[in-house]
Chain A
Amino acid sequence: MGLVFRGAAEAGLGAASAADRPGPPDAVPNPTPTPPAEGADPGSSRGPGMVLKAFFPTCCASADSGLLVGRWVPEQSSAVVLAVVHFPFIPVQVKELLAQVQQASQVGVTVLGTWCHRRQELEESLGHFLEGLGAIFSHKPWFQLCRERGSKSWSCKATHWRGPASPAASGEDQVMLIFYDQRKVLLSQLHPPMALPDRQAGDTTASAGGLAAVFDTVARSEALFQSDRFNEGPVRLSHWQSEGMEASILVELAKWAAGPVCLFLACLLSLISAASSCRVFKLWPLSFIWSKLSTCEQLRHRLEQLTLIFSTRKAKNPAQLMRKANMLVSVLLDVALGLTLLSWLHRKDLIGQLADALIPVADHVAEELQHLLQWLMGAPAGLKMNRALDQVLGRFFLYHIHLWISYIHLMSPFIERILWHVGLSACLGLTVALSILSDIIALLTFHIYCFYVYGARLYCLKIHGLSSLWRLFRGKKWNVLRQRVDSCSYDLDQLFIGTLLFTILVFLLPTTALYYLVFTLLRLLVVAVQGLIHLLVDLINSLPLYSLGLRLCRPYRLAAGVKFRVLEHETGRPLRLLMQINPLPYSRVVHTYRLPTCGCHPKHSWGSLCRKLFFGELIYPWRQRGNKQD
């Protein structure tokens, strides 16, 4: 098959030069597409009026005449045109190139038909020549697209060869032209619609076949787009990159430098994580403290993220790449905000002012607590308390406050130094600074936490005692074996003592309940403040900023689907549509690309929270990683 078509090209098309390609002077009757109902050959395997779809790249609409190269998807009856091979060419070389591309990309790239971009009507010989090409690159169906230069009238027909025996009995089908922007479709990533709650996510991908096949074909055919028109290869192609591959020096330099930098940082990070997981830190007091401080959680989280970003393994799929990019941008933003905070603190010398104000504030809080206790020890809100119990509890808590104030005054010379060093940690990130703030609040209100625990335990004991004695009052008992309430006959002494104790507990209940209520409210206030700070930290941690930026600046990269627009239509001409990319809405971007956070969210519902409060069980507002049980 060593035919060279240069001779025929000179005869019919003229001009073998690459630059100038004048249109053929003669005319060929342009066969209009046959109407759908009668177009089918009764013996053909296709049904009547079958509409074939041809996806045509917009960059090839002004290309010179040649062969259409792409992939035929029989299930969708659609042809995806990837490039145009220009005259002159040698069929053997074209087939070799296609075989190479097919092997490199696993996409069934073949010659689909001919493309003709002419000045006026084609001559008869060219028409036969184009049909003769169909015999060499046999493909069913064989497309013949035509466009008049300078006008918007297109024509296309698709024929089925019945073989040389009956060439006249070839059936024709109607073709619908769908234009697509090749570069955008190549770069975009299709997101299947969200699965319904009761279905698996994997089922929806099976039904999203049609257009996903087009995207897939274009994305995997990168090997075809490597050669541009400045290449000295045997075959000349026209596609979106045929004007030259686009690249940026900065991006290339960054890619080249990324290797060693990643390696260096990965070693550094592995050293740090090895140091932090050494045995010294696992001893009991230290491990307990580390698990309580949210700063350590945050630092550990950031260390994990940095290890993932700078790991030397390449990302396996686009989702992992997005995740890495999101983490990197999140870390960078965090550090930038932290440095801004640091510069603001140092400019106004706020650290000194904060240190000076801290002790008086702590004193003030303690004084307010003392006033509160004095109020409780009197007649709070007009209620009459049990005097003896009141005095005992009040004095007990007052002594604690006194101890706490002494500790604070002991620490006062060192506060400024500590705060200055803590302020330096803001250069690790705003999230770290906020976590430290949350921990400082927790440490400063430690006495409130202690009071809450004392009050809650006392109240809890009282409630349990009351419920058990109430059962005795009614003649029932809790059966531990059967986990239920059973009736029981008590002796008279048991009943007598039980009733006495019950009465005592009932009359002491208001006092204990009031102390419990006051300290629980204080504790909940502190927890609410800490919760807000944690919410802010979680927001900074989990927001996918890179994906949002991509959606803002390059909306075609994240595609929810496609949309079609019907272009100018004349009767008798084929239907032309423009396929554009429908970008993903912002809410779905955030939902799909959210980064995982520490996971320290309260898992209670409001009902269980109220139940715990009523029975005096201790509430831990957030679980620490893994090991805490309520």
Chain B
Amino acid sequence: MASTSRGDSLPKVQCPNHPDAILVEDYRAGDMICPECGLVVGDRVIDVGSEWRTFTNEKETKDPSRVGDAQNPLLNGGDLTTMISKGTGAASFDEFGNSKYQNRRTMSSSDRAMLNAFKEISTMADRINLPRNIIDQTNNLFKQVYEQKSLKGRSNDAIASACLYIACRQEGVPRTFKEICAVSRISKKEIGRCFKLILKALETSVDLITTSDFMSRFCSNLGLPKQVQMAATYIARKAVELDLVPGRSPISVAAAAIYMASQASAEKKTQKEIGDITGVADVTIRQSYRLIYPRAVNLFPPDFKFDTPVDKLPQL
């Protein structure tokens, strides 16, 4: 039970009668109990939680934890090393005041780059408030790419950014390249290159982006009410269905749809504001808007309440 298999999941114990049941942990006795039949599946389970709750403002008191950081078996090479910490008594310092025993480096030299990358991924994801599951997925992807070594020459940050992009796509909540660029120091071009290389290396593919993937995020960033968001989603979908915008990036179409919907409602947003949020250029929104404007009547949802009627929509 304690040995970690090569798979990327924690060791699983299951109730023999109910393999699908999620086991309940009884920490007092250290048991894993099946909720369906009450069978005690794993007993005397070692508690892998943290020993003490540490608060960040307590800098003065030494860390009483004797077990170190939480284990990350998925992603490291099974780091079970022992470190010797700095001495405290007088005997551990030589005459100049330097500590005698200095061995706190080379913890895990092979995974140093990977740990660094995980830290970078965590920082990037934190900037755009991505949930834990996407971060985990990104870490997994990075680990796979790193172990494969086919992209070894590329900057780790670029690979990390591309992994983040792929993870968001795979989880069904794609972020635009420009959004990833905003939280990363790597250029869009390089992220795009790494993205294609990673897809090839891992032999996976991702779904095509649609206009509706971005609507909720863009509209809430602009502060638009739900009605406008739903109208914009409908407009964009209809525009693509009627093939009014062939060859246009879905982001540009989404931006133009948001512009049309907001201009028809009470919450009017300028092209510049929408351009800032979506990352689409002013002129591109104008171009896409010009393409959907002639059929504006057909594009609005039937139950939409117009603050500005369709014929008074701005015509650029």
* Genuine A/B complex: no
